[in-house]
């Protein structure tokens, strides 16, 4: 059976193309060797379950490993101690059946003992006896630990587990405890209703900090693509494609796999490219990214759902994306902490940043869609769309010319402060209907500030760079031209574009061409 790229559930080495997890497993094993209790808390679809499967196998040489999944137990299992103990014991029994026969037989006897008890206290007494009978150290792993976090029995279980673990080495216990879920032990309280403060107690202050990088590096992605290339012979440039995948995803495992799956399966099927050789090119990657961004996945639904739940976060991200207004990264802020926990934002040198380019595109699309119905600028983009496409090529100069004309007509007499904050948003509203369905655009994060943004447009395999700039005087402007020229070198382009928002009374509105070394810069001033 041929391997595939998997985006649903855990990945298996024999069935799916995967990155090499061994470096990450070594780091996690070091924590296990130290006897630590920790939580692998990462965003949804971040490879937690895949990692646990691989880790269980990786640890078997040195430890006996019990691997459970709270999601398998069902919600009713958390309604009472008796129901929980019964369900927990069943899961435990399934796990020990995977042990070598002699060990499994001894463990089964203790697990069956729990069928005759109905309290957590009795359960942990049995587990204590169990650990005392084993020849090797026992590691407990529980996946989907936050499945039923809003139940008292869950909190009581964590409290017992903590007390049981802390009595080592005077009392027999698990050598290491590994929990996995979206929520960390320290912030799982967010799943508990505020009126149930009695559930917030000692379980929250035990876990060691988990700092293993679960994202995929360009080198790890390249390793996976080498295996794929050996099977499929597409002649792709592995280093270039893996680098591009990382640029778009920042190594978010689900997004990496989704782009690869689209290139492997969807592009040829949908007629976007003629064959797999064309799929595994820069042009193919852009098409794969467009398919992904336009797919209403559960991950993207979760992202938009959090914005609805936290309007303050939505407002701040809107300002970050469209005006470059810096947002301090304050982990104590509940909506910043929540957005980071779900993997949507990250701490970039003390400021909030969108976690990856794909999430950024999804957010731009969302925010623009919320405005288009009442936006005159969006309407003009729709109305004038056809004149900007010439033989399947995007005429960016003509877009800038028409935007300058439209902007001056609609907003020429507006307040300067208002326009400075809104100008770049208006350009994106004008651009969106022109490239919609065919291309995408994004802002390079290192250039996003209140004075400058570099907008990159992907359109049918071509890229265009437009610097969006607020005028701050001639000297500053000339430095901007040099910066844009250097940026074009990065993209291997000879032509670039600059849109300057100039609020001087004597400004010269229009579009002109500037030769700068071996580059041509098309500059528009509004």
Q: What is the pLDDT of residue 435?
A: 92
**pLDDT-derived band of residue 148, with 50, 70 and 90 as boundaries?**
low
**Dihedral of the CA atoms 424, 425, 430, 433 (nearest 10)?**
130
Question: What length does the chain have?
Answer: 526
Q: What is the pLDDT of residue 419?
A: 65
Q: What is the pLDDT of residue 146?
A: 76
Report the C-alpha gap between 402 and 510 in whole angstroms: 10
Q: What is the pLDDT of residues 76-102, one digit of tens each?
A: 788 888 888 888 888 887 777 766 666
Task: For the chain, give percent helix, strand, coil, nearest 5.
Answer: 55, 15, 30
Nearest to 6 by CA among 246, 231, 264: 264
**pLDDT-derived band of residue 278, with 50, 70 and 90 as boundaries?**
very high
Phi, psi for residue 103 in degrees, rounded to 5: -70, -45
Q: What is the CATH number of domain 22-205?
A: 3.40.50.300
Sign of CA dihedral 254, 256, 257, 260: positive
290: which residues sit within 8 A by CB, 6+ positions away? 438, 439, 440, 458
Mean predicted lDDT score pLDDT of the chain: 85
Q: What is the pLDDT of residues 289-313, one digit of tens each?
A: 999 999 989 999 988 888 888 888 8
- Structural domain spans, the chain: 22-205, 218-290, 298-354, 375-525
Q: What is the pLDDT of residue 473?
A: 64
Residue 521 three-state SS: strand
Q: What is the pTM of this model?
A: 0.88
Residue 353 three-state SS: strand
Q: What is the pLDDT of residues 329-351, one digit of tens each?
A: 998 888 888 888 888 899 988 98
Q: Which of 190-194, 206-210, 490-494, 519-523 has the highest mean pLDDT?
A: 519-523
Angle of the 120-133 helix axis to the 81-96 helix axis, nearest 10: 20
Q: What is the pLDDT of residues 426-478, one digit of tens each?
A: 999 999 999 987 888 888 877 777 777 889 999 988 999 999 888 766 655 56
């Amino acid at each position: 059976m041929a391997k595939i790229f998997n985006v649903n559930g855990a990945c298996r080495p024999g069935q799916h193309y995967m990155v090499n997890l061994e470096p990450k497993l070594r780091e996690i094993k070091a924590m296990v060797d130290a006897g630590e209790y920790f939580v692998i808390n990462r965003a949804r679809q971040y490879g937690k379950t895949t990692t646990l499967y691989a880790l269980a196998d990786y640890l078997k040489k040195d430890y006996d490993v019990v691997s459970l999944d709270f999601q398998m137990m069902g919600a009713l299992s958390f309604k009472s101690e008796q129901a929980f103990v019964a369900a927990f014991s069943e899961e435990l029994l399934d796990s020990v059946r995977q042990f070598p026969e002699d060990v499994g037989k001894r463990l089964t006897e203790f697990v069956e003992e729990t069928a005759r008890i109905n309290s957590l206290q009795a359960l942990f007494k049995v587990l204590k006896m169990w650990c005392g009978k084993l020849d090797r150290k026992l590691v407990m792993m529980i996946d989907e630990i936050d499945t039923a976090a809003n139940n008292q029995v869950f909190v009581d279980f964590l409290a017992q587990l903590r007390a049981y673990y802390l009595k080592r080495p005077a009392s027999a216990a698990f050598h290491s405890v590994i929990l996995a879920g979206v929520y960390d032990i320290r912030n799982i309280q967010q799943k508990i209703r505020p009126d149930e403060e009695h559930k917030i107690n000692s379980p929250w202050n035990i876990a060691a900090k988990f700092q293993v990088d679960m994202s995929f590096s360009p080198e790890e992605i390249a390793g996976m693509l080498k295996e794929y290339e050996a099977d499929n012979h597409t002649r792709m440039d592995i280093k270039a494609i893996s680098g591009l995948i990382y640029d778009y995803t920042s190594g978010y495992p689900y997004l990496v796999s989704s782009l690869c799956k689209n290139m492997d399966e969807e592009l040829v099927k949908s007629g976007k490219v003629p064959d797999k050789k064309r799929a595994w090119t820069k042009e193919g990657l852009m098409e794969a990214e467009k398919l992904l961004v336009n797919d209403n996945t559960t991950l993207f639904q979760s992202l938009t759902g959090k914005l609805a739940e936290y309007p303050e976060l939505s407002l701040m991200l809107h300002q970050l994306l469209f005006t470059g207004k810096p947002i301090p990264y304050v982990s104590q802020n509940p909506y910043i902490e929540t957005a980071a926990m779900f993997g949507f934002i990250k701490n970039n040198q003390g400021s909030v940043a969108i976690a990856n380019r794909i999430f950024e595109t999804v957010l731009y699309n969302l925010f623009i869609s919320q405005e288009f119905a009442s936006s005159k600028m969006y309407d003009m983009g729709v109305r004038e769309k056809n004149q900007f496409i010439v033989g399947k090529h995007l005429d960016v100069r003509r877009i800038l010319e028409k935007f300058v004309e439209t902007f001056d007509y609609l907003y020429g007499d507006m307040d300067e402060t208002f326009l400075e904050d809104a100008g770049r948003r208006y350009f994106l509203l004008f651009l969106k209907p022109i490239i919609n369905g065919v291309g995408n655009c994004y802002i390079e994060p290192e250039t996003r500030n209140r004075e400058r943004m570099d907008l990159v447009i992907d359109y049918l395999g071509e890229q265009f760079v437009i610097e969006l700039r607020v005028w701050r005087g001639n000297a500053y402007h000339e430095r901007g031209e040099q910066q844009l020229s250097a940026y074009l070198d990065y993209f291997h382009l000879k032509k670039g574009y600059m849109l300057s928002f100039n609020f001087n009374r004597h400004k010269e509105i229009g579009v002109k061409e500037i030769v700068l070394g071996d580059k041509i810069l098309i500059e528009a001033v509004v």
